[in-house]
Chains A and B, each alone.
Chain A
Amino acid sequence: MATKTKSNKTESVVAKDYESVIIFTPVLSDEQLKDAVAKYRKLITENGGEMVHEENWGLTKLAYPIQKKSTGFYTLYEFRSTPDFISKIELAFRRDERILRFLTVSLDRHAVIFNQRKRNGEFNQAKKDLKQEGVK
């Protein structure tokens, strides 16, 4: 019954673009990390979301310690889904002890274009120009 109402909703509500950055604890092994990343990918796709992009930054140093840990595995999901799915996935993030921090952001159309260009590598040139401008 519950699933039925949900599927009705997905038809009427327009899907939006979102981006989630998650920081996993550094104590995970490679295998555990893979599992965790796959778990949320699955959660997104199973709830009518569409994965646009996924990125792993590897073990990265944090700017400040979180839960007494100074490094973390950053993972980025870019996906399209209905707005009601966000509370669901954030609840899952909150319940997961392997996650130090997460941030879900809805993307406007400039952001979507930006991310696409960044992925295609078009962006390095423009960024270089900006850096030079910043130095001046």
Chain B
Amino acid sequence: MKKKSNNSSPAMVFNTMPEAPQKKKFCRFKKNGIKYLDYKDANFLLKFVNDQGKILPRRLTGTSLKYQRKVAQAVKRARHIAVLPFTGDSLK
């Protein structure tokens, strides 16, 4: 239920936020000191795509802008070398 509203309109999430505070999101790359994303590592990149194979937005994953760009680059490279599919029904 909560997830659905998250997807459709972020404005609504902000309205409901004060009543039910969510766990603060963080950038996993900054937190863990990861400087480079390996585009050959399918299992790792799967965390940043939904089950259709689309790249997840920052507002869901909490990734900082700097690393979101790298995520996108890595996912696209992985797709090119057929490590990740361009589309899929159930990746997870």
Verify B82–A63 contact, CB threshold 8 A: yes
CA distance A121 to B83 in the complex (A): 21
Instruction: Find chain A residues with CB under 8 A from B83 CB.
Output: 63
Question: Does residue A101 face the partner (Cβ distance < 8 Å to B)?
Answer: yes
Does more than half of chain B's interface fall in helix, strand or loop, or is it mixed? loop
Provide the B57-89 mask, 1 if CB < 8 A to any CB of A, else 0: 000000000000000000001011111111010
Between-chain CB contacts (< 8 Å), 24 pairs: A21-B40, A63-B79, A63-B82, A63-B83, A63-B88, A64-B82, A64-B86, A72-B82, A74-B81, A76-B40, A101-B80, A101-B81, A103-B80, A103-B81, A105-B77, A111-B36, A114-B38, A126-B32, A127-B44, A130-B32, A130-B34, A130-B44, A133-B32, A134-B28
Residues of B within 8 A of A (CB): 28, 32, 34-36, 38-40, 42-44, 47, 77, 79-86, 88
